[in-house]
Amino acid sequence: MAAKRLVVLVSGSGTNLQALLDAIEAEGPDTYGARVVAVGADRDGIAGLDRARAAGLPTFVCRVPDHADRAGWDAALTEATAEYRPDLVVSAGFMKIVGKAFLARFGGRIVNTHPALLPSFPGAHGVRDALAYGAKVTGCTVHFVDDGVDTGPIIAQRAVEVVEEDTREGAAALHERIKDVERRLLVEVVGRLARDGYRIEGRKVLIP
Ligand code: GRF
């Protein structure tokens, strides 16, 4: 079966994108089941875009301030993404909530990775919030995107322990440990979805 087409959306360092690119390169797109056809971002000047260019991939940038309103931005992001005819869109550290147009076009095909065990600690500060709450175990969640904030059907999760030093040293070290696990989980999940297909039944994601 032909490798599935992935458009990856990023906002930052792009290490999750890099993990996907490395896995695809190591296994080959046909064995892995997918290849990245383009990388999109909501801002310029980020390492994630440099990684995409270094891999020879086309990139696009849709910045909210370049549009009259949020709906205009969402429509532009939808068009830019659609140009690459993705089978799956992977939101890998993309720090924007997509809107109605994007969901109408790609709903059920948008995978997001979140650095906490949803439904605990949704939103932009999942690591910091888990630490502030005093959680002893946190982790990461790969899920489908719906119209809420980190509320879509969960595909897979992995736990990471919070250790004493995290409380003293803040969220950065904990986030790095989570990202280490998160990258591997994302690579695993995207590969399985691409190779095996899936069904979403209510809140359940079924991979044969
Ligand atoms: C990840 O932990 C992601 O879940 C969070 O931001 C981080 C992105 O890291 N929203 P990177 O840009 O892939 O390195």
* Beta bridge partner(s), residue 59: 39
d(CA 153, CA 136): 24
143 is catalytic: no
Contact between 35 and 52 (Cβ < 8 Å): no
Q: What is the pLDDT of residue 116?
A: 98
The rounded Å distance from CA 44 to ligand 1 centre is 16
Residue to substitute in 113, 138, 141 for testing ligand 1 pocket (most ligand atoms within 8 angstroms of CB): 113
- One-letter amino acid for residue 93 of the chain: G
* 14-58 pLDDT tens trace: 999 999 999 999 999 999 999 999 999 999 999 999 999 999 999
My answer on whether omega of the bond before 119 falls inside 30° of 0, hence cis, is yes
CA gap 35, 30 in Å, rounded: 8
pLDDT recorded at residue 169: 83
Share of the chain above pLDDT 90, in %: 98
Mean pLDDT of 129-154: 97
User: Are β-strands 154-161 and 199-201 bridged in parallel, bridged antiparallel, or unpaired?
Assistant: unpaired
pLDDT tens digits for 3-24? 999 999 999 999 999 999 999 9
**What's CA 58's distance to the chain center, in Å?**
18
Q: Cβ distance 135 to 107 under 8 Å? A: no
pLDDT, average across residues 73-91: 98
- DSSP string computed for 122-136: -STTHHHHHHHHT-S
Place of tokens 């065990």: 117
The pLDDT of residue 168: 84
Atom in ligand 1 nearest the alpha carbon of residue 178: 2
pLDDT per position as a tens digit, 97-113: 999 999 999 999 999 99
Tokens 């919030």: give the residue.
129
Question: Distance, CA 1 to ligand 1 centroid (Å)?
Answer: 30
Q: How far apart are CA 133 and CA 121, in angstroms?
A: 9
Mean pLDDT of the chain: 97
pTM for this predicted structure: 0.97
Domains and CATH numbers, the chain: 4-197 (3.40.50.170)
Secondary structure (3-state) at 47: helix
